[in-house]
Structure 1
């Protein structure tokens, strides 16, 4: 069970982090009726709230996304280099093809008329929601300068009991993506844990966390780790050369700065709340007024400010500003792609957000090969266990991944099929829903 520190402070879409925000006044209880109404929404497509950050992502977009999480692999951004790889040209870095608002024009632009009343409001209104985990898979590369389509829906609702929070609901939303020709590219599934436990009782929970200055020697160690990092690149990592227990090496990410958050937003955009400047911000305040809080000058500003304003963060019960859980997800992805080389394929990745990553924290990203096998009968694959661990020794983001590797005996990587062999986004989402319906 993922605890409520798992992206505590993350908004329900997984993009922002209004920790400490007051829930709408409602009976903060999980009821059978609420769960039934929520389940009745499974599979009903609905549009994303705001347009994508990149409508026709090209080489510049690929580069900006990769730079936002510190990835310098030329496969994503150097056209001459990429032309000499097995892909015969640039492909997008894996984090680009995912949920929120990076890419993807809505295939369904409005909720069907006969479903609008059903989709109105939140059946569990007032019940706290924590963005707790993400599961992703990739089936084909995104090439530059094409349009990307997306389809969004609730895909799973599971009624849970836990010692920590009593009754809880695991609410999974799914987004699937296709290229301009309709070929399914990738899917991302996000877990919101809904609990009755009041966040207000937790306000002092993080007060004991100490943010200590680094010594010069510690900074030198971090700098040396950065200097030793590099993508494997054009050197194939053959399946036959990998064994259970092999380490993926490590990456260092940090010490986290507000500048890192700025660079993140440059590449990834501002998320589904449509955070904007000046006149556009004023319009946004009329659209979603509860997303804005007043600062010490009585000026309304977005709840995302907890990521760069220490006072806003302290109001949420935290000692200082903190990252987005999705940042650490991209760091796990980065470790995988650095290790596997350009001839391999990152197929699946799952991670949980178990603790905050504060400004000033350093995360060490590590992995170990846990399984070596043929996936789906004929695809040389490895499963790897992943962790992000801070300088206090706390695992903030455990995860796992499946990587397809080239083989000396079996040849180049064979790309995986979408779920159920689907060829459209509607079929893909139906297959995902069927998967989440299984016990």
Structure 2
């Protein structure tokens, strides 16, 4: 299996070209800079104080609330009796759930990146993430997240101007000290006012009409007892032998995305995204945070894989913004099958497209399946 280090090297090389931050290959190198990052870079590889987590304990409620927020109404996250009949012998958390226990956003926002006038660059934007999922997270677990800065490099972007590409790493452990997941991510630090002055980002979208402040449509309050409980989804089992190279994963369509959808995710992760709407700032309207794509891809893959599958890895790159008011369609295709150390693994290309016809995200994933021919290794 390709190591996470080599995969992250590929991500680092491919984070920028044709990304939502603009630029072609070679445009992101910089020889002369006005940025001062020595204070920030001194933190690379060092133990830094960790912020208080939003959640430490895992409960049926934290899992249920997260699943509703995605939304992914998968019965293996919600129905204890049904989950007991699966490979997992009980409820487990969805891929990406650990954002409710820790996010690397605070690492990329640490002080120490300054412009020529000594002003701190305060705008940060997610670029890529790669999650590796090692063990299921279950009700009753206690999860601890540990984050570290791994690198910081000055870059130049057509849309962001001079910026800093920050690499962050996070490790999630349970009460037994077992590593349940790892996250490697990249983010940009930049001057949002300068980006706004140069025309802003999200220019693949049509401009908001004159007299219109936002494309958001307000959602009436959904108070407890005023709406039906979401219908749980019971997926069909799929085995390794049922999968073929070239198979298409059924599309996962969401939206139109509205501020309410983003707000639900913020509520269960204590703000890994933004609740701003309207055409102020360098982004022309509210947008879905890049980290939400992990949840969307995870839901799509888990539905296709069935109740006994295990998503081992999701790696994704933000190509363009997902602004509110539009639908987004996630898709995937099988690229490889392999049996490795007794594990039946399927690799896929994954991507998201805007309903307007352009790509917003691209990446890869890996799923472990049960096999009719090979015994399944327990997790």
Scaled by the length of structure 1, the TM-score of the pair is: 0.65
Residue 402 (str. 1) matches residue 354 (str. 2): no
1:134 corresponds to which residue?
Answer: 129
Higher-helix-fraction structure: 1
Aligned residues: 326
Distance 1:193 1:378 in 2: 39
1:431 corresponds to which residue?
Answer: none
Residue 103 (str. 1) matches residue 101 (str. 2): yes
1:76 corresponds to which residue?
Answer: 77
2:265 corresponds to which residue?
Answer: 264
| Larger RCO, structure (CA 8 Å, separation 6 or more) | 1
Give CA-to-partner distance per residue, 1:258-315, whole Å, 9 cap, x none. 221232233332349xxxxxxxxxxxxxxxxxxxxxxxxxxxxxxx342xx32xxx12
Distance 1:85 1:95 in 2: 20
Give CA-to-partner distance per residue, 1:245-270, whole Å, 9 cap, x none. 10111111101122212322333323
Secondary structure, aligned partner of 1:325? coil
Superposition pairs for residues 15-414 of structure 1, below 5 Å? Answer: 29-30=34-35, 34=37, 38-49=40-51, 51-98=52-99, 102-103=100-101, 121-123=111-113, 126=120, 129-157=124-152, 169-194=164-189, 198-206=194-202, 209-210=205-206, 233=235, 235-271=236-272, 304-306=274-276, 309-310=277-278, 314-375=279-340, 377-414=341-378
Give CA-to-partner distance per residue, 1:195-221, whole Å, 9 cap, x none. 6894245325546732799xxxxxxxx
On the 8 A contact 1:56/1:148 being kept in 2, the answer is: yes
Give CA-to-partner distance per residue, 1:49-90, whole Å, 9 cap, x none. 3x3222312001100001101101111121111111111111
On the 8 A contact 1:383/1:401 being kept in 2, the answer is: yes
On the 8 A contact 1:177/1:186 being kept in 2, the answer is: yes
Distance 1:340 1:121 in 2: 42
RMSD after superposition? 3.5
Distance 1:120 1:367 in 2: 35
On the 8 A contact 2:44/2:149 being kept in 1, the answer is: yes
Distance 2:203 2:95 in 1: 36
| Distance change in 2, residues 1:212/1:39 (3 Å) | closer
Distance 2:73 2:137 in 1: 18
Secondary structure, aligned partner of 1:385? strand
On the 8 A contact 2:40/2:110 being kept in 1, the answer is: no
Give CA-to-partner distance per residue, 1:210-253, whole Å, 9 cap, x none. 2799xxxxxxxxxxxxxxx99663x4322122111101111111
Distance 1:28 1:73 in 2: 49
| Distance change in 2, residues 1:398/1:46 (3 Å) | same
| Distance change in 2, residues 1:123/1:270 (3 Å) | closer
| Distance change in 2, residues 1:199/1:319 (3 Å) | closer
